[in-house]
Amino acid sequence: MKVALVFSIQLGFLILVQCASNQFLPYSKFLKIQHLKQTYGSPNLSTDDFVVHVDSHDGLKAADKISRLPGQPSESKFNQYSGYVTVDPHHGRALFYYFIESENNSSTKPLVLWLNGGPGCSSLGSGAMMELGPFRVNKDGKTLSINKYSWNQVANILFLESPAGVGFSYSNKSSDYKTSGDTQTAKDSYTFLVNWFERFPEYKTRDFYITGESYAGHYIPQLAQLILNSNHVAINLKGIAIGNAYIDDETQQTGSRDFWWFRSIVSDEIHDGIVKHCNFSWKSVLSDKCKTYLNEEYQMIRDIYAYDIYAPLCLNGTSVETTGFDPCSEDYVQSYMNIPEVQKALHANLTGLPGPWSDCNYDIFNNWTDQPFSMLPTIQQLMGTGIRFWMYSGDTDSSVPVTTTKYAIKKLNTTIKTPWYPWYLNDEVGGFAVVYENLTFVTVRGAGHFIPNFKPDRALALFSSFLDGKPPAS
Ligand SMILES: *[C@@H]1O[C@H](CO)[C@@H](O)[C@H](O)[C@H]1NC(C)=O
Ligand SMILES: *[C@@H]1O[C@H](CO)[C@@H](O)[C@H](O)[C@H]1NC(C)=O
Ligand SMILES: *[C@@H]1O[C@H](CO)[C@@H](O)[C@H](O)[C@H]1NC(C)=O
Ligand SMILES: *[C@@H]1O[C@H](CO)[C@@H](O)[C@H](O)[C@H]1NC(C)=O
Ligand SMILES: *[C@@H]1O[C@H](CO)[C@@H](O)[C@H](O)[C@H]1NC(C)=O
Ligand SMILES: *[C@@H]1O[C@H](CO)[C@@H](O)[C@H](O)[C@H]1NC(C)=O
Ligand SMILES: *[C@@H]1O[C@H](CO)[C@@H](O)[C@H](O)[C@H]1NC(C)=O
Ligand SMILES: *[C@@H]1O[C@H](CO)[C@@H](O)[C@H](O)[C@H]1NC(C)=O
Ligand SMILES: *[C@@H]1O[C@H](CO)[C@@H](O)[C@H](O)[C@H]1NC(C)=O
Ligand SMILES: *[C@@H]1O[C@H](CO)[C@@H](O)[C@H](O)[C@H]1NC(C)=O
């Protein structure tokens, strides 16, 4: 089966579990990554380091308007746009976006950028079509249905396929696909935004937020920092929110192991062995004994859907009938996105890109060139800038589990303002929340990695709270 998102660069096996053949060697990836010259923290990104290419965008907004998507159930009551923004004219590199305005009073609602992670996965395929967008692709792979918990009820949402090589985003210089990494992704996303605001100038002064999940735990703080460090364009950044955030390699490792153990997937013996023999800290090298235990652990987790340990698998492309999450969603989206009329309606693939479109590009993932070990120094810096900063976690995800975020927050040394409490939606506990100085952390009970897909009502309640700047109601 295939998988929608990928994450752990360091121990790549976690990700590839579900799509790899039996020959897959869990540690080959890890050994490769050890050769990737990793820095501890992310560089301090600013526009002093590169020239931001800016085009004229006259008339392009009108050309990007989508009249109707094939298979759309009814006329939409909101405007939809999509198209390309060139971020590097010399290489011929362009990023693809999908933008949905809010149905009600869009001119007074904030603008929110959504980013999926990977690295290498599409915000259009995952974010828009499987999670928080207005439509879901039906099982036939051809028609759409309405998501009544779409986040465009409360905001105007911009989905960006990033970096080049992901989804419909591309570069005419194919060597760019070999040099993708955190830094280039941040620069290109910034250049995209500056140009996008030229195309949609009415949004220039609008309250602006960045949200996303997973490996966007790297993208979002890096882009936020770049925006705040760059004063030649005013982007009105008010806050960021990251779901099941991949932000620190050490707590990613320790937190995942504790999660699998506490959820009774991994035995005490294996877990004890890992605790005793594995050191996941910066610059440490895994011992052979540690690797043996990790392999034993892998045998326990390998046939469980990593993004929700209680969900069924997508077997042979057909899902068992369940309520809620359909593990084959990615297949339906893949079929839909490859329909020529859909690409035409989206103004996508105008240059005959090698196909097919797929939700995650493993070549981009495999050839990633730079990523810091930890985003915590950047996050600490952002926490002092006065922007709103939230993290949230679906508590049944095992790929970037809730424990990893809790352990990472501990490392931030912030202080509790409102202690951990249950929050409610429709008289049920929606999850738990805790407010720290400059940071709010919220869990979503019973949700896997793609929170708005697993628990759409709770996800929308959480997102609305975030925009209101108020922790979810107790
Ligand atoms: C990439 O190349 C094609 C074909 O030459 C061209 O039409 C397109 O504009 C180029 N893309 C960019 C972003 O320059
Ligand atoms: C739109 O905003 C106006 C003015 O703030 C308000 O009176 C109206 O009720 C709003 N409409 C909707 C549908 O929210
Ligand atoms: C827009 O406002 C109308 C009237 O208040 C309401 O019935 C509808 O649900 C709103 N739509 C969205 C997407 O919020
Ligand atoms: C980061 O770079 C910006 C712009 O060059 C500078 O103003 C700021 O002081 C730097 N911050 C740190 C922590 O080095
Ligand atoms: C783990 O490795 C780091 C880096 O090599 C080292 O500083 C630290 O002492 C080690 N921790 C333990 C518990 O051995
Ligand atoms: C999936 O296909 C394999 C091989 O064709 C078959 O052995 C297996 O029973 C199928 N599983 C399901 C759930 O249909
Ligand atoms: C782009 O369009 C061509 C047909 O013109 C198609 O063969 C190819 O699969 C498409 N690429 C993507 C990424 O969908
Ligand atoms: C990326 O890595 C894969 C191996 O995982 C390789 O087959 C592929 O050619 C590489 N792609 C590029 C564009 O370098
Ligand atoms: C919170 O932000 C303020 C500035 O807004 C800063 O002085 C303080 O150090 C920050 N505290 C933490 C724990 O980030
Ligand atoms: C948190 O506090 C500990 C103990 O005072 C210190 O060693 C560590 O460097 C601090 N971490 C951060 C990220 O500031």
In terms of Cα–Cα distance, which of 301, 257, 402 is closest to 18? Answer: 301
Nearest CA owner, ligand 9 atom 4: 384
Using the mean position of ligand 3's atoms as its centre, give its distance from the Cα of residue 151 in Å. 12
How many whole angstroms separate alpha carbon 344 and alpha carbon 339? Answer: 9
75 pLDDT band, cuts 50/70/90, is: confident
Ligand 6, CB within 6 Å, residue ranges: 315-316
375 pLDDT band, cuts 50/70/90, is: very high
- Region 249-276: mean pLDDT is 97
pLDDT at position 322, please? 63
The helix or strand, by DSSP H or E, that contains position 416, with its residue range, turns out to be strand 416-425
11 pLDDT band, cuts 50/70/90, is: very low
The DSSP secondary structure of 91-126, one letter per residue, reads TTEEEEEEEE--SS-GGGS-EEEEE--TTTB-IIII
If you average pLDDT over every residue of the chain, what do you get?
Answer: 91
Q: Between residues 104 and 244, which one has the greater pLDDT?
A: 244
The answer to whether 450 touches 4, Cβ cutoff 8 Å, is yes
Using the mean position of ligand 6's atoms as its centre, give its distance from the Cα of residue 317 in Å. 10
- Give per-residue pLDDT as tens, 37-63: 689 999 999 999 899 999 999 999 999
pLDDT at position 43, please? 95
Confidence check: pLDDT of 318 > 90: no
- Region 70-90: mean pLDDT is 95
Q: Which atom of ligand 2 is nearest to the CA of 104?
A: 13
Nearest CA owner, ligand 3 atom 1: 104
Active-site entry in 214, 374, 399, 465? 214
In the residue annotation, 49 being an active-site residue is answered as no
Nearest CA owner, ligand 5 atom 10: 279
Confidence check: pLDDT of 103 > 60: yes
321 pLDDT band, cuts 50/70/90, is: low
pLDDT at position 315, please? 81
Nearest CA owner, ligand 3 atom 10: 104
Question: Integer distance in angstroms from the first to the last C-alpha of the chain?
Answer: 40
In terms of Cα–Cα distance, which of 165, 103, 112 is closest to 134? Answer: 103
pLDDT at position 8, please? 39
Q: Between residues 470 and 303, which one has the greater pLDDT?
A: 470
**Does the predicted TM-score (pTM) go above 0.75?**
yes
The answer to whether 402 touches 395, Cβ cutoff 8 Å, is yes
Confidence check: pLDDT of 179 > 70: yes
Q: Which atom of ligand 8 is nearest to the CA of 165?
A: 13
The answer to whether 361 touches 165, Cβ cutoff 8 Å, is yes
In the residue annotation, 74 being an active-site residue is answered as no
Angle at 31 between CA 28 and CA 37, to 5 degrees: 140
The answer to whether 402 touches 410, Cβ cutoff 8 Å, is no
Spacing of C-alpha 431 from chain mean position: 21
276 pLDDT band, cuts 50/70/90, is: very high
CATH 3.20.20.100 fits 39-248+327-468, yes or no: no
The percentage of residues in the chain with a pLDDT greater than 70, rounded to a whole number, is 91
In the residue annotation, 189 being an active-site residue is answered as no
- Region 343-351: mean pLDDT is 98
Using the mean position of ligand 7's atoms as its centre, give its distance from the Cα of residue 302 in Å. 33
pLDDT at position 429, please? 98
pLDDT at position 233, please? 79
Confidence check: pLDDT of 14 > 80: no
320 pLDDT band, cuts 50/70/90, is: low
Q: Between residues 83 and 234, which one has the greater pLDDT?
A: 83
pLDDT at position 74, please? 87
How many whole angstroms separate alpha carbon 120 and alpha carbon 100? Answer: 22
The percentage of residues in the chain with a pLDDT greater than 90, rounded to a whole number, is 84
- Give per-residue pLDDT as tens, 183-221: 999 999 999 999 999 999 999 999 999 999 999 999 999
- Give per-residue pLDDT as tens, 381-395: 999 999 999 999 999
Q: Which atom of ligand 7 is nearest to the CA of 167?
A: 13
Q: Is 153 in the pocket of ligand 3 (CB under 6 A)?
A: yes
Q: Which atom of ligand 9 is nearest to the CA of 414?
A: 13
Using the mean position of ligand 9's atoms as its centre, give its distance from the Cα of residue 382 in Å. 9
Number of H helices, E strands in the chain: 15, 13
Confidence check: pLDDT of 33 > 60: no
pLDDT at position 10, please? 38
How many whole angstroms separate alpha carbon 274 and alpha carbon 287? Answer: 10
pLDDT at position 312, please? 87
pLDDT at position 7, please? 37
The CA-based dihedral angle spanning residues 216, 217, 219, 222, taken in that order and rounded to the nearest 10 degrees: 160
- Give per-residue pLDDT as tens, 93-102: 999 999 999 9
Using the mean position of ligand 5's atoms as its centre, give its distance from the Cα of residue 284 in Å. 6
Confidence check: pLDDT of 442 > 50: yes
